[in-house]
Amino acid sequence: MPSDPRALIPDVDAPLPEGDRKTASVQAMFDVIAPRYDLVNRVMTFRMDVGWRRRTVDALGLVPDSLVLDLACGTGDLARDLIARGHVPVGADLSFGMLAAAPEPFPRMQADGSALPLPDGAVDGATCGFALRNFTVLADTVTELARVVRPRGRIALLEVAEPPSKIMRFGHGIYFGHVVPRLGGLLSDGAAYRYLPRSVAYLPPPDELLELIADCGFTDVRRSLLSGGIAQLLTATRGSAR
């Protein structure tokens, strides 16, 4: 890896990276933006992300003391909400910079989402916040979730979305594509926040995303739109052991 991880963040005019280049780019980008990641999230979502995360934890529907994997846990936002609901979180993130920037300690490990160092059926549920588009092969990561979540366990995956309303979609496109990169540049790293809006292109269309989750071993797969459709919450139940 280059001495300056910023060198791995794709330029705005460059094609989006694939394969190992994407893995390296994502890891480098989050290492760079980790120190001010939470601040930028609060500012660019007008603190709506706080409510989205709480709804994500509630959507798990698990009993207290459940062991929950927080995939791509970052600095621990969702982990703190899990603790507040009486659950026991264990975080996993590719970026050591994000793990190190956690303001409060919680069990966490550096790991790739497609190769988690956990036994089969080890956790009662799993959450993931705004990271589906960052995994190198999304199907591999969801398959790995199906392996580590016990039968009848639950997952709740929070991600950005495109509003169904034409007016909302137009306004959101301007804000997410132009305002967010400028805010990110002022508060953190410009190159990283120019890349993040472009990374939405990695997300499959909604129907394909729901089908992918079902094909990986989950049932009762549902999608809910949040705040007019600028975010989406995907929930599902782990099917019986195969």
For residue 147, the Cα-to-chain-centroid distance in whole angstroms is 18
Q: pLDDT (tens digit, 9 = 90+) per residue, 112-169?
A: 999 999 999 999 999 999 999 999 999 999 999 999 999 999 999 999 999 999 999 9
Q: pLDDT (tens digit, 9 = 90+) per residue, 173-231?
A: 999 988 999 999 999 998 899 988 899 999 999 999 999 999 999 999 999 999 999 99
pTM, 2 dp: 0.94
Q: Coil, strand, or helix at residue 238?
A: strand
CA 204/CA 80 separation, integer angstroms: 29
Name the domain count of the chain: 1
Domain of residue 206, CATH code: 3.40.50.150
Structural domain of 173: 5-238
3-state class percentages of the chain: helix first, strand second, coil last, to nearest 5: 50, 20, 30
